[in-house]
Chains A and B, each alone.
Chain A
């Protein structure tokens, strides 16, 4: 079963002893079955908070406003028990760091059997057979033996494959991959991207890929949301974002992508300035202090979401349709 996902006016703040951190503010995103959605932004932009909220895994000090409708149900309003029943059944998360994502003292097979616990209709032997088949599908040779292994006996790339296999075992309608390649070296990264590209052909649910790596997003996704300081500043088809970016932040981000430079540089370009303090987010545009196109209203008035094309939106005073 798969349905559409829509987060609207979603805000998340973390209550800390030093005041509330407004990690996510008024975020609107949507995704439909069969789509691969990319979420891109620098560290601390709220992309992990966003997917953690979608997967109902926020820590206890997080407060959520707004709605996350999946398949017509508002996830934010479900009680803890119903939320838990969705996790690992309808919604699966491939964690950020394959090095630490698995329990170090239990075998891979043992953990993957447990991860299918929503499938009450299957016996242990059937679950193990599914695991072996799925490990084969994600390109792990000798699956039977690997199931007896402990996580530390596997390489990083293999562990990430296992993590993807674990998520797929639950037949989720919504698969979230949080920085699936960040902890891997370049060769492994290419292999995992290749695997995810293959999988998306056979998979009909929604895939959300989070990355700060523009290349990963470009290769995998249909649509992209660009985040900055807890807000979605621009969203649209991959082509539109990469070739016709309109928001000054997206343009600056693309200009800084090291993959664009073919000759050796003494210094890689950077965006001057730093992220705003999210305990007191600015009342105007979050990007205004670093923006080279900022003008009178930017510092005072929060920019509206400007619709540029059917699926292309940007939150900026300086853009016009």
Chain B
């Protein structure tokens, strides 16, 4: 298990390095030098030279990449081109908001999606199953920014129940929670459908296995068979899906944070891209990739914990 964890973490670090190389390559390959793009066509050569020096753009690309990682190891992710604030500070300010948003959305999606999937299986072939099926596909089909805009119109503009923008007053839990409802719902909605379908599909497969028949032959109540005997196996593909899907949850956070003008990593990236603020883009991408890779590793370790057969494969 430990060897497995170490191997996965090593692989994760390799992914981080490759992603950053790709990012630098992209910046390097984009026509025009970054300083001109950032400053606009009317910048003086003087100003341009200053910026190039400050961003280290006069160095060769491979040197820039090595510098980036050397600094990153000491916690220095570079400086914002415009405000000159450390990128690490910007990311640390924005990160909690995004993590809270993503995790709330994910928790809500799991808490609703998994029971819906189970209910579908227990009532298979009935109207309830059909309704859950249609609704699931329906909400999967709606992009989260559409949900965001319509809920904004309904709950913030028309009904005025919830704040339209921002992340709530600092230190005021109720106001923060209120500001979280719509963005989280916008992201969670599609995932509820996804998870419900996924749980239903893998559960149906598990319910046909002989050990379920054994549990039935001992007269175990159906809810116990579904929630203990089938779900523990059926949840495994869902965990993988959610871990991979977290990437898309974080990218939908980019849209949703833009719609709700909610401070967070998504908004930080969008703003940085719009202002050609390369150090901020690089630093944020590094952190996001690191988060994504850690979640994937955590999910694999969780699966190994849930399934003793997987555990044994890696023990040996």
Contact = CB atoms under 8 A, between A and B. Distances in A.
Contact of B229 (A84, A100, A103, A152): A103
B211 A88 contact: no
Interface in B214-229: 214-221, 224, 228-229
Interface stretch (A29-37, A112-120, A126-134, A237-245): A112-120
A98 to B, nearest CB: 10
Interface string B199-240: 000000000011101111111110010001100110000000
Given A97-B210, A114-B215, A104 B220 contact: no
Contacts of A87: 216-219
Given A106-B232, A114-B224, A152-B308, A101 B219 contact: no
Interface residues of A, number: 31
A102 interface: yes
Nearest to A85: B219
Contacts of A170: 218
Contacts of B211: 100-104
Of B211, B218, B221, B233, most buried by chain A (CB within 10 Å of CB) is B218
B217 A93 contact: yes
Nearest to B214: A101
Nearest to B218: A88
Interface in A75-105: 84-89, 92-93, 95-97, 100-105
B307 A104 contact: yes
A55 interface: yes
A168 interface: no
A150 interface: yes
B218 A166 contact: yes
B312 interface: yes
A87 B211 CA distance: 15
A89 B309 contact: no
Interface in A164-188: 166, 170
Interface residues of B, number: 22
A298 to B, nearest CB: 38
B210 A101 contact: yes
A163 B218 CA distance: 11
A260 B312 CA distance: 44
Contacts of A100: 209-211
B306 interface: yes
A55 B217 contact: yes
A57 interface: yes
A106 B219 contact: no
A202 to B, nearest CB: 21
26 contacts: A55-B217, A84-B219, A86-B219, A92-B217, A92-B218, A93-B214, A93-B217, A95-B214, A95-B217, A96-B210, A97-B210, A100-B211, A101-B211, A104-B308, A105-B308, A114-B215, A114-B218, A114-B220, A114-B228, A115-B215, A115-B218, A115-B220, A117-B219, A118-B219, A150-B308, A150-B309
Interface of A: 55, 57, 84-89, 92-93, 95-97, 100-106, 111, 114-115, 117-118, 150, 152-153, 163, 166, 170
Interface of B: 209-211, 213-221, 224, 228-229, 232-233, 306-309, 312
